[in-house]
Amino acid sequence: MDIGAQEHVATRGTIGILGAGRVGTAIARLAVAAGYRVKIATSKPAADNALIIEIVTPGAEAVDAPEAADSDLVVVAVPLHKYKGVGADMLAGKVVIDAMNYWSVTDGDIADFEADDRSSSEVVAAHLSASRVVKSFNHIGYHEMEPDSAPTGTADRRALALAGDDTDAKEQVAAFIDALGFDVVDAGDLAAGRNYEPGTEVFNGRFNAGELSTKLRGSLVSA
Ligand SMILES: NC(=O)c1ccc[n+]([C@@H]2O[C@H](COP(=O)([O-])OP(=O)(O)OC[C@H]3O[C@@H](n4cnc5c(N)ncnc54)[C@H](OP(=O)(O)O)[C@@H]3O)[C@@H](O)[C@H]2O)c1
């Protein structure tokens, strides 16, 4: 690492990622490229992941989940049917980005979500009750994250929505999204996250900030 990169890391801070699958590793690569220190974990011990992390997300560190949770921002990218396996205690006081979706085709029917009118992120936030949860990164395919990322100010830059109940947490997540290469549109409170869940127009499309704002304004559930 050159000295410039070290300064960059110190400026950007630390990102923890729970889930080293398709989404977790794509976000990890973008975050490393943006100059963050990235710690990534699964439900398995760090040693089990070290080699694959070195190959798939060079520059990120394989750690145990509590160490990943001990970061400035924590991305949760595990299959939603496993969300209760993500320890609420270790994430207490943290800003948590919920990148997960409830999609019964892959998750199976989960009573927590089928029998609940809330957005999936509100259900997750009830589990992570001492965390500040912000929903984002759920409506972009993992395979689109790197090719669609672009520097701030790029014409027609792709935008990602965020939703949450805490303004400061949303500002922190917005800065992270921008650093990773996307414009940001505030969709409103966590309940408004349902406007870009699976099955919505936003979930199924690729939009710049103006287009995304328009789509979200036209959604049925407002903040
Ligand atoms: N695929 C996409 O394009 C896409 C895009 C946006 C959002 N999403 C959403 O993002 C979530 C993850 O999707 P994915 O496609 O990345 O899944 P995936 O490829 O199956 O990866 C899931 C990862 O989560 C880990 N994991 C499971 N339980 C864990 C726990 N308790 N703590 C830490 N890590 C745990 C798994 O490792 P171990 O089992 O070894 O622990 C694995 O590394 C889903 O909710 C999905 O709907 C997916």
pLDDT per position as a tens digit, 191-210:
999 999 999 999 999 999 99
**Rounded to the nearest whole angstrom, what is the distance from the C-alpha of residue 67 to the centroid of ligand 1?**
18
Q: With bands split at pLDDT 50, 70 and 90, how would you rate the model's confidence at 222?
A: very low
Q: What is the pLDDT of residue 218?
A: 85
Within 10 angstroms of residue 3's Cβ, the number of other Cβ atoms is: 7
Residue 74 lies in a domain: yes
Tokens, residue 69: 């949770």
- Residue 22 Cα to ligand 1 middle (Å): 7
In a domain, 205, yes or no: no
CA distances to 73, 83, 176, 178, 219 from 6, rounded to whole Å, are 19, 34, 18, 20, 43
CA–centroid distance, 140 to ligand 1, in Å, is 14
Mean pLDDT score of the chain: 93
Distance CA 81, CA 66 (A): 20
Q: Which atom of ligand 1 is nearest to the CA of 198?
A: 47
| Residue 218 located in a structural domain | no
DSSP 8-state class, residue 222? -
Query: H helices within 41-157, ranges in order?
Result: 46-56, 65-69, 104-107, 111-114, 120-127, 142-148
**Is 122 part of any domain?**
yes
Cα 113 to middle of ligand 1, angstroms: 17
Number of Cβ within a 10 Å radius of residue 143: 10
* Residue at 206 is within a domain: no
pTM of the model: 0.95
Residue 213 lies in a domain: no
Average pLDDT over residues 70-78: 98
156 in a structural domain: no
Does ligand 1 lie within 6 Å of residue 15's CB atom? no
Domain encompassing residue 140:
3-151+163-183
43 lines ligand 1 (CB under 6 A): yes
Write out the two tokens for 168. Answer: 């400061």
Residue 80 alpha carbon to ligand 1 centre in Å = 8
In this structure, the strands spanning 159-164 and 132-135 are antiparallel
In angstroms, the CA 91 to CA 113 distance is 22
Domain of 179, CATH number, reads 3.40.50.720
On whether residue 109 sits in a domain, the answer given is yes
Q: 18 in helix, strand or coil?
A: strand
Structurally, the chain folds into a number of domains equal to 1
Q: Looking at ligand 1, which residue's alpha carbon is closest to its atom 19?
A: 21
Residue of 8 and 92 predicted with greater confidence: 92
Find out whether the beta carbon of 28 lies less than 6 Å from any atom of ligand 1.
no
The answer to whether the CB of 31 is under 6 A from ligand 1 is no
